[in-house]
Structure formats: structure tokens, C-alpha cells
Structure 1
Amino acid sequence: MTFLRVLFATLVAFPLLAITASAQSDYRVRSGDILQLEVLEDSSLNRELLVLPDGRVSVPFVGTVRAGGRTLGQIRATIRDGLAPSFAEPPNVYVGLSFLAEIEPREPITIDVYVMGEVTEPGKREIEPGTTILQFLAEMGGFTQFAATKRIQLRTARTGREQVYTLNYNDVELGAGVGTSTIMADGDVIIVPQRRLFE
């Protein structure tokens, strides 16, 4: 009888493990998630990694790694490649979600951001988590002829209180300044003001 109970429990557990593994493989990491890092060849690197508001985590010997909007497999590959020069052979790296984080994919799978002012298509936009400001500017529909592109504002409350950042679109196009790697957060607002008379 005991053998049958063990067999039944095993048969029930296997599908649950498969579902959990599948959910984790499809899951897109978001700010606030806690990841579990394990390196088989060096246990001193094992730790929990908090995904910061900018979507990044900090890993010893690797530095900052973009995690927001990516799958666990993609993050694992980046960390493994970053650690590889420190080992004779590429290390065996495991990255999973901590038990404190959600395992099931969250709905919705997009975040809401807003654009207003001197743009051709103002309003709410649904974008994928992990989208940078530069990527968002590229797909938001363009500016009107009256747009003050040197004074674009990013208004965000990701730290708990509203903060305002000024972007110069010309600098962003050249890959300089804020906007090239900053990740958009849910509720962010882009405001494109009207150009002044002699601006």
C-alpha cells in the first residue's frame, strides 16, 4: 500500500514539475523579481539577485546584466558567457526564480506607457517589458513640426515619487545621454513640449 502511495505521488509530481519548468522558461523577468543564481564550479557565486527598477542585476565578475524583459535562459546564457573568462571551461550556471517571486506569467504581458504633446500619435501605448526609451521613441509615430525635440520629458514614478528627466533627441540619435539604455516602466509618460519662438 505504501509503495502505491509513493508511486501515485511521483506520477502526480512529474506533471507539476514539467508545468513549473515550462512556466519559468516562458516567463519574462520584471523589476522587483528575485532570481536565484547558482554556479556549479564556484559556490561562492551562489546568491539571490534582485532585479532593480532599471531591469538590471549585478553579478560578481560579470558586472550589470540586463534582466528585465528577458527569459531566464537568456539571462543564464549572458551570465555564463560573462563568467567564462574566469574559468578553464565555461561554467555550469543555473538561474531560476526565487520562491518569493511569481512563477506563473503575469497578465498583462505588456506595460502601459503614455505619450503626449507635439507627436503625431499621442495616447496610451502597450509595449513589451524591457523596451528602452530609444526603442520607444523609434516606434511612437514621430514628432510634429512644432516639437521641441531638445526638451523631451520622461516622467516616471518607478521610485515611488514622480521624477522628471529631460531628453535631447539629437543626442539620443547619436547614442549619447539618457535614453539609449534606460528601460521604460509601467505608467511612464513621455511629453514632447511645443518649440519656443526662437528655439
Structure 2
Amino acid sequence: MIAAFAAAAALALGGCESGADPIVPSGDAGYAAIAVDRSAAAPQRYALAPGDIVSVRVYDEAELSVDEIALDNAGVVSLPLIGDVRAAGRTATELAQTIEAAYAADYVRDPRVSVLVKKTQVRTIAVEGEVELPGVYPYTDGQTLLTALALARSPTEKAKLDEVMIFRTVGDERMAGRFDAQAIRGGRMPDVALLPGDTVVVGFSSARGIFLDAVRALPVIGIFRPWP
């Protein structure tokens, strides 16, 4: 029996290394993989997103300046002469530098460009499942799993705190992770930094019951992994 268990554990670890198995590592190895997410807890310069509205000023080139333009669903803005410019994921300063380079290549000698963010899309997170006040809440820089639970007035008495799921979309990929809120509260595991658009599900949720049934069978808690 012990040998069989050891063999099963080895297979599980092998699946984690190959990325072919949905089982995820725990402990230091698991949290090392989301170090980039933990850094998101520190304030960062705003990255543009589809739907944001910006103004683009090209100094001494009024015909090239645009007072208001929205990023389309692909995160692109279309500007005079140079056409489509990828803006999503860039800060205003980075976008200005990109536009400067595009104009300098063929149209304007030593262009100076400034970009001002005039309006941003509302950034939110959702908290579902066994919490007192499920709903959609504004996202603020530095928000974590524990602060999200506090917004939702904390888990109910029926909540299974070792079955807290976070769903996240990274690029075009759907990700999911299982975390132990009790261990985080007790300082035995680090808190998880949230990103705009995340959905937190505490315990059972009828909307995601199939996913939770599958994840409850996983022997470990840890990082975000791709989810169909």
C-alpha cells in the first residue's frame, strides 16, 4: 500500500512538472509560481485596457493630435497617418513613446508626444459562494483574497475555507486555483494578490459546482493552472 501511494504521488508530481495534469503544487513551490501576482499588491502605474479613453497630443502638430479616442475591443487606437497602434497593457508613457517612434520613422522629425488617460473602465472583482454578501466589488490596487472576503462580509459558518477558488483570465487563457483561506488568516500561507476581473468562489456555488466537485479531489492547494 505504501509503495502504491508513493508511486501515485510521483505521478502527480510528474504531472505538475509537465503541465499536462491539472494537479498543482503546494507550499513554497506553489507560491513561487505566483510571485508575479504577489508583486501586484504594490501600487503600479496604470496599464491601459479596452474601453479606456485617452487624448494624444503631438506637439506643434495639431492635425495629428486627437482630443479623445477610445481603445477598441482589441486594445488598439487608430491615429492619423500611422493607423492602428496597440495600446492595451501599456502605460500612458509607454504608449506615448510608441507613438513617437511610429511618427519619427516616416512622418515627423523629433516628435514629442504626450498621452493623457481621460477615462478608465470600471475595474471589478466578484465574490461568490458561501459569503454573507456575494456580489461584484470595485477593484483597488493591492487588493488580496482576504480583503475581498472582508468586502463580502466574510464567509458563512458553512463555508469550507480550504476550498476557496480564484478564477482568472490571463490573455486568452482561463486559469483557476484553490487556496486555503484559514491557513492564510493564520499566517501559515501568504495571502493571494488579486487582479481586476478575478472571481473568488468560497465553498460550494451552484454556478460552479462541477468545477468545485473536481477540485475537491485534488490532493494539494497552490497555484493557478489552466482550466477549460
TM-score by length of 2: 0.40
Answer 1 or 2: higher relative contact order, Cα 8 Å, separation at least 6. Answer: 2
TM-score by length of 1: 0.45
